[in-house]
Amino acid sequence: MCKKFDISPADTIPSPERVLQAQGVPRASTDATRFTGIVQNAISRYRELAAPRGICREISVGNFESIYQGEGANAEDTPLDSIAQNAEYLSLFAVTVGEPVTGEISALFAADDFARAVMLDAAASEGTELAADALEALVHQDARQSGRLGSDSKLVRFSPGYCGWHTSGQKKLFEYLQPRQIGIELGDSYLMQPLKSISGVFVGGPKDIFIFEDSFPFCRDCDTRSCRDRIAALYRL
């Protein structure tokens, strides 16, 4: 059974520093102060337009394996292959900050207002990540309270397009989850509409199951290596 979550917009408002960093402007840069007005405007507009919502559906390890194989285009070996097999809890998810934000960004680009469009796009992208974080926290709490996840277990999300999970995996994920219930559709090229949306799987279990070396062939193409920060965070919590 699917479970829908309304997410507080306040939990998805990015800081000016986070928006600037997404644009490649370091916090200590002298350029940061030049963008103060346009950044604040973007965050304010995002605050007005954002309507974050999420949906989840628990899935067994066996059924997830079928979903994960997708269209057969995954990397030959991926971290999630073994992580999912050792999971206590699996739940497919999708989260969005809504169509109005995406519509505003498109309108700004169409009007050649590139500076405001790019900054709002960055604010909305960071807001979507924060919405996914908020949904993760809600699902984690729900799974613990219901006894489906141990009190010391962690919850980590993985998404198609990362760590060897091909974007075509969205097709079976959407068939199982049906996120159109919260207004998310999947296009022929596996892009989600609204664009400011994230989908994937929440994996719950002991923190040790999430440890892996970033030495897979596809890791060479990763610019962020954000998995390192996620793994490190498990041991700080």
**Taking 90 as the threshold, does the pLDDT of residue 52 lie above it?**
yes
Stated as kind and residue range, the H or E segment containing 200 is strand 197-205
Query: Which fold would CATH assign to domain 2-234?
Result: NADH Oxidase (3.40.109)
Q: Which two tokens stand for residue 33?
A: 């102060």
Burial of 62 (0-12, 13-18, 19+ CB in 10 A): exposed
CB–CB of 132/157 below 8 Å? yes
Give me the pLDDT at residue 177, please: 97
Q: Which residues contact 159 (CB under 8 A, 6 or more apart)?
A: 165, 198, 199, 200, 201
The stretch 161-169 carries a mean pLDDT of 94
Give me the pLDDT at residue 69, please: 93
Domain boundaries, the chain: 2-234
The stretch 43-63 carries a mean pLDDT of 97
- According to DSSP, the β-strands at 185-186 and 154-158 are unpaired
The stretch 174-198 carries a mean pLDDT of 96
Give me the pLDDT at residue 235, please: 80
The stretch 108-126 carries a mean pLDDT of 95
Please state which of the ranges 14-18, 170-174, 199-203 shows the lowest mean pLDDT. 14-18
Give the position of tokens 């394996």. 65
Q: What is the pLDDT of residues 99-112, one digit of tens each?
A: 999 999 999 999 99
> Coil, strand, or helix at residue 183?
coil
> Coil, strand, or helix at residue 155?
strand
Give me the pLDDT at residue 10, please: 95
Length of the chain in residues, anyone? 237
Give me the pLDDT at residue 223, please: 82
Q: What is the overall mean pLDDT for the chain?
A: 92
**Taking 70 as the threshold, does the pLDDT of residue 27 lie above it?**
no
> Coil, strand, or helix at residue 195?
coil
Give me the pLDDT at residue 32, please: 60
- What is the rounded end-to-end Cα distance, in angstroms, of the chain? 30
**Taking 60 as the threshold, does the pLDDT of residue 30 lie above it?**
no
Give me the pLDDT at residue 8, please: 95
The stretch 170-193 carries a mean pLDDT of 95
Give me the pLDDT at residue 33, please: 67
Give residue 26's pLDDT band: very low, low, confident or very high (50, 70, 90): low
Question: Residues 6-10: contacts with CB within 8 Å, 24+ apart?
Answer: 6/52, 6/53, 7/52, 7/53, 7/54, 7/95, 7/131, 7/134, 7/135, 7/138, 8/52, 8/134, 9/47, 9/50, 9/51, 9/52
Q: Where are the beta strands (DSSP E) in 59-190?
A: 89-96, 154-158, 185-186
